[in-house]
Structure 1
Amino acid sequence: MTHLTTLDAGFLELEDTDHHVSLAIGAVAVLAGPPPEFDALLDTIGARCMADPRATQVLRTHPLDLTAPEWVDDPAFDLTHHVRRTALPHPGDDAALSAEIASIMERRLDRDRPLWECWVIEELAEYRWALLIKVHHALADGIAATNLLIGLSDDANTTSFASSIGAAKRTRSRPGLALPSLNPLNWLADSVRFSATAGKIALRAAGGAVDLTASLLRPAAPSSLNGPVGDLRRYSSAVVKLSDVDEIAHAFGTTINDVALAAVADSYRAALLRRGLEPRPDSLRTLVPVSVRGTEALDVASNRVSLMLPLLPVDVADPLQRLRAVHERLTVAKSSGQRQAGSILVWATNLIPFPVTAWTVRLLSRLPQRSVVTVVTNVPGPRQPLTVMGHKVVRLLPIPPIAVGFRTGIAIFSYADELAFGLLVDFDAAPDVDELAAGIERGVRRLHRLITTKGRSRRTGGLPLSSNG
């Protein structure tokens, strides 16, 4: 038996406090060709899913939350409860697929069974079919869910962008708590150096805690983007070339994540204007999860994340200035210690008696949440194209959750040469979800067009400060 961590169990508590919410995350693989026979697919997918022990385990809870829930084997496990089949109505286009995704994700997973489902979606246009993997957030974060998805493919050893990022972090020299010397003559100097380094880390984390607390206590500008969440969902997606995003990041000295968030800010700015609202500096405080998962734990089904709470610059009209503002704000957020403070908080909650943390989460989740408007999570996906039973995966689309006043959520997913944005929104609060998705693609195109302007400016001896410069 394995007990849930406080963070994992927190997702159950959040779901329990709002019957409108389903805290499942997911991904959709769109595959080429006709789907295999369902019985053969059931056997193959079942065998691959059950390679993970969580696939056949259920949660055992305890009265009054006196102990954290634990994973136990399900004696009545039935694969047919989890691998399901559906078909799109004619013409089976992207809009029909998005509607089916929303319908599947708005339904809660059954707590009496293992917390996952795999949906076979047939009758897609252009001679395609799809697999949707849906897991509860208590079971996995984005990276863990991605590895579950990779496990369904023909080559489960496919490398992901996450593994390469982790390798780069290991080889990158950065200050930390060095091991003490074995030479007694150096112990005094080592202890002083250790204390100074530990003090700097503690001060940074304390500063980050102050920043996070201040952000959570400061209400965002009122808008229809945050508020109560209903029962129904809408889904849409945007897909851009990863090479274009990488080219933008390289040209302007930012990161791929900066470019993605700048495009998101571009789209939300347009959405606020469509609603007749003035985009303000405090209009879009965004929860940005940050993975703290080591490469040695990439295949562990659990949540290993911290967070940052930057304000995305929807008030900045110029695309290039907006990108630079995103880069500067994320740089400040990273250096402020927000990520370290979040990690320490998550770690510390595991030292507190579980009933205290469970009741606290339950109490806080019932309070109105007005400071954070949306969540944007970036998950590194497979580097190489995948196949499932010999069928090429032509596209991978992520699905985020929404809860606690977030009426819109965006997951970003890299796969081979594409960067996909999956948008899950409250049905009534965001009927313009397709426009939100199109706005992200438009934001990337605007930034990519500026590369030629930048090159032309360099040839004439100047570097533009904005897209109008």
Structure 2
Amino acid sequence: MVTRTTAPAATQPAPAPSRPHAPQHASPPQSVAAAAAARRAAQALPPAARKAATVVQKNMRRAASGMLGISGERMSKVDTAWLRMDSDSNLMMINGVWTLSPGITWQALCERVQQRLLQYPRFHQRVVEDAAGATWVEDRHFNIAAHVLREKLPHRKGHSMQRALQDRVGELAMQPLDPRRPLWQMHLIEDFVGDDGAKGSALIVRIHHCIADGIALISVTMSLVDGGAEPPRRKPRSKGDAAATAEDWIADMLIKPFTGLTVKALDLAGDGAARSLQMLGDPEKTMQHGLAGTMDMARVAYQLVSDAAALALMPDDSPTRLKGPPGRAKRVAWCPPIPLEEVKAIGKALNCSINDVLLSCVAGAIGGYLRNQGDDPTGQEIRAMIPVNLRPMEEAWKLGNHFGLVPLVLPIGMANPVERVYEVRARMNALKGSTQPILAFAMLAVAGLMIKPAQDALLNLFGRKTTAVMTNVPGPKEQLTMCGAKVTQCMFWVPQSGDIGLGVSILSYGGGVQFGVITDTTLCPEPQQIIDAFAPEFAQLSLLTLMLPWGE
């Protein structure tokens, strides 16, 4: 069991500065006589009935204000879909770990969180659900001590603190956040010793996916570190602002990525497709382009229809021990960083991207793990859903979820590393110009409009056809410090939905690249065995690259 201690009252940091509450709106007009009659009728009720009536009235008022957007800020439909996607086997939380040297104190962390993190409204707002969706509402009883916790890792004979930290992250990945509070928590282990023997602290971070996606959380991270900038101030919306009301509609959710050209963010759309998407969102410009614009529109319309059919008719991937109904326990693992320059050198030598190299090593590590378990993965493939950013990086501070999903089939059965990296490159190139990320984004927006059973049925389309969720997030190039301590390692794990039991994360930070895995223990009891296969795969690819015959 993990011991959790709370600082004495005298050492608790001062409460966060008060913030203006959401404006209160007057009740619908009614006559004074009618109001007096209602009060007299309520007073005539027995005390128990009066109390019950008050509770019902409060709940009805809360639901009505949520549905009508009267109080708080309405949650977007995409974020609502992520909010409702929690299940007994998979919670929609992004889990992360930082190790810091030397250590930091709980008090220092609380002060930093109050100064920086709470500048983002989402981190002091709770979620109120109703029949039509959900609303962000100010938590008037916000308490920093309920969100920043201090812990001590249990000491188990034969297990390092690193293993204890991994076990604890796995436990927390299956512990729901308190829905009565803002949906995030930090767990600080003040005295931590890593496998390298360095003394310091470890910080476990849990944030519900409805608050933000991984790219947006990088912006949050940069505000927490020493020297980090505060988030830009959001301009208040006027009552006549059309965008304020249009955000809840699927048209706005779908057209914004088209007109913003943000599909180019991760180079998953070619220039021609991007121009076509812009024209699709701007018919007036299309008319100005004449026939050329019409042809581009026809091409993108054909691409949309083709990609929609491809999503709906995706074949099942190969049955492996990594696919099946998940249980209710998770475990995580991660490897030491690999120098980013080495990855770039291999990519340059093979005329491949860094992503091609890393995804090929992931496929090789999974195939190697299956071979070590006695399975033969020859000829087998698994599908991984890869998030694709759909917004400019300079807008990441706004939080929320603005990404689509694209299915990549990984050739886990290819044993030759060079052959495998070229196959991954070919498959990644085939995705360029695809509108599948936008279609997936639209599907999430539609799911947010549905009741939960209908939403689950729609989103299970991905779960049935997929073995893994895989994310590659570019982190800071320079090593960071927080509260005076150096951030020696940082890692995160993406949540899985439906019956998906494998999550793979790749994060570049401080000149290195790290590979992390989270698995359902029913499907993969020891994810460290997949991690242990990653470095040998990279080393083998590096060696074979050096041995290839190169021209003068």
**The TM-score by the shorter chain falls in which range?**
0.7 to 0.9
Q: How many residues align?
A: 435
Q: State whether structure 2 residue 128 is matched by structure 1 residue 60.
A: yes
Gap change, CA 1:195 and 1:344, over 3 Å in 2: farther
Q: What CA distance in whole angstroms lies between the structure 1 residues aligned with 2:392 and 2:154?
A: 43
- Give, in angstroms, the shift of residue 451 of structure 1: 2.8
Q: Structure 1, residues 72-119: CA drift from partner, whole Å, max 9, x if none?
A: 101111111100111224475322221122122221111111011111
Evaluate the alpha carbon distance shift between residue 308 and residue 87 of structure 1 in structure 2; reply closer, same or farther with a 3 A threshold. same
Greater RCO, CA 8 A, separation 6+ = 1
After superposition, the C-alpha distances for 1:33-69 in whole angstroms (9 at most, x for unaligned) are 1323x2233222232221111011011111xx3x221
Q: 1:235 aligns with which of 321, 327, 332?
A: 332
Residues 1:179 and 1:102: Cα distance change in structure 2 (over 3 Å) = closer
- Give the Cα separation in 2 of the matches to 1:98 and 1:313: 29
User: 2:316, 2:525 → 1: CA distance?
Assistant: 24
In the alignment, does 2:275 pair up with 1:176? yes
- Residues 103 and 344 (structure 1 numbering): CA distance in 2 closer, same or farther, change over 3 Å? closer
The normalised TM-score by structure 1 is 0.85
Other-structure match for 1:84? 149
Deviations 1:332-354 (A, max 9, x none): 1224442343345456x38xxx6
Cα distance in 1, alignment partners of residues 327 and 174 from structure 2: 10
Among 79, 83, 93, the alignment partner of 1:12 is 83
Which of the residues 187, 200, 205 maps onto 1:119? 187
Is the 1:227–1:370 contact (alpha carbons within 8 Å) kept by the matching residues of 2?
Answer: no
* Match of residue 323 from structure 2: 226
Q: 1:434 to 1:414 in 2, by over 3 A?
A: same
Kindly tell me: are residues 167 and 231 of structure 1, through their superposed partners in 2, closer, same or farther at Cα, counting changes over 3 Å? Answer: closer
The answer to whether 1:51 aligns with 2:116 is no
The runs of 5 or more residues in structure 1 that have no matched partner are 160-164, 462-469
Amino acid at match of 1:274: N
Identify the residue that residue 303 of structure 2 maps to in structure 1. Answer: 204
Gap runs ≥5 in structure 2 = 1-71, 232-262
Read off the aligned partner of 1:60 and give its amino acid letter: V
Aligned to 2:439: 341
Q: CA deviation at 1:368?
A: 10
* Aligned position for 1:421: 515
C-alpha distance after superposition, 1:194-214 (max 9, x if no partner):
222222222112211122222
SS at match of 1:121: strand
Aligned equivalent of 1:293, options 375, 386, 391: 391
Q: Paired residue for 2:504?
A: 410
8 Å contact 2:125–2:182 — kept in the other structure? yes
Matched letter for residue 420 of structure 1? Q
1:140 Cα shift?
1.0
Aligned amino acid, residue 107 of structure 2: D
The answer on whether the counterparts of 1:9 and 1:138 sit within 8 Å (CA) in structure 2 is yes
5 Å matches for 1:67-78? Answer: 67-78=132-143
Could you tell me how far apart the structure 2 residues matched to 1:257 and 1:145 are?
21
CA offset digits 1:164-220 (Å, max 9, x no partner): x98897xx966515789xxx9x997623222222222221122111222221xx222
**Amino acid aligned to 1:198:** M
Q: Could you tell me whether the CA contact under 8 Å between 1:249 and 1:259 is conserved in 2? A: yes
Aligned partners of 1:251 and 1:366: how far apart in 2? 40
Secondary structure of the structure 2 residue equivalent to 1:279: coil
In the TM superposition, residue 26 of structure 1 has moved relative to its aligned partner by: 2.4
Q: Following the alignment from structure 1 to structure 2, what is the Cα–Cα distance between the partners of residues 141 and 97?
A: 24
Distance 1:158 1:92, change over 3 A: farther
The one-letter amino acid paired with 1:87 is K
Q: Give the whole-Å Cα distance in 1 for the aligned partners of 2:358 and 2:347.
A: 10
- Measured after TM superposition, the shift of residue 29 of structure 1 is 1.4
Distance 2:218 2:279 in 1: 34
Contact (CA 8 Å) 2:286, 2:294: kept in 1 or not? no
Task: Give the stretch that moved more between structures: 315-324 or 358-367.
Answer: 358-367
Inter-partner Cα distance in structure 2 for 1:47 and 1:21? 32
Partner letter of residue 272 of structure 1?
A: L
Distance 1:360 1:249, change over 3 A: same
Query: Which segments of structure 1 move beyond 6 Å, counting only runs of 4 or more?
Result: 165-169, 186-189
CA distance in 2, matches of 1:191, 1:89: 70
Name which of 331, 341, 359 aligns with 2:429: 331
Contact 1:207 1:337 in 2 (8 A): no
**Alpha-carbon distance change, 179 to 137 in structure 1, aligned in 2, over 3 angstroms:** closer
Give the % identical residues.
Answer: 25
CA distance in 2, matches of 1:321, 1:133: 38
Question: What one-letter code is carried by the residue in structure 1 that aligns with 2:152?
Answer: A
1:149 Cα deviation from its structure 2 partner: 2.1
Is the CA contact (8 Å cut-off) linking 1:313 and 1:322 kept in structure 2?
yes
Compared with structure 1, are the counterparts of its residues 434 and 245 closer, same or farther at alpha carbon in structure 2 (3 Å cutoff)? same
Amino acid aligned to 1:400: V
Aligned 8 A contact 1:286 1:373 in 2? yes
For 2:522 and 2:452, the matched residues in 1 are separated by: 31
Match of 1:131?
203
Which structure 2 residues correspond to residues 303-382 of structure 1 after superposition, within 5 A?
Answer: 303-346=401-444, 349=446, 355-356=449-450, 358-364=452-458, 369-382=463-476
* Secondary structure, aligned partner of 2:201: strand
Q: Would you say 1:258 and 2:356 are equivalent positions?
A: yes
Distance 1:82 1:235, change over 3 A: same
Deviations 1:127-164 (A, max 9, x none): 121222210011111111222222211122499xxxxx
Name whichever of 1-10 and 126-135 sits farther off.
1-10
Q: Is the 8 A contact 2:463 2:497 kept in 1?
A: no
1:439 to 533, 541, 548: 533
Per the alignment, do residues 75 and 302 of structure 1 end up closer, same or farther by CA in structure 2, a change over 3 Å counting? same
Q: Deviations over 1:265-317 (max 9, x none)?
A: 00110122233332154531111111112123111211111111121001211
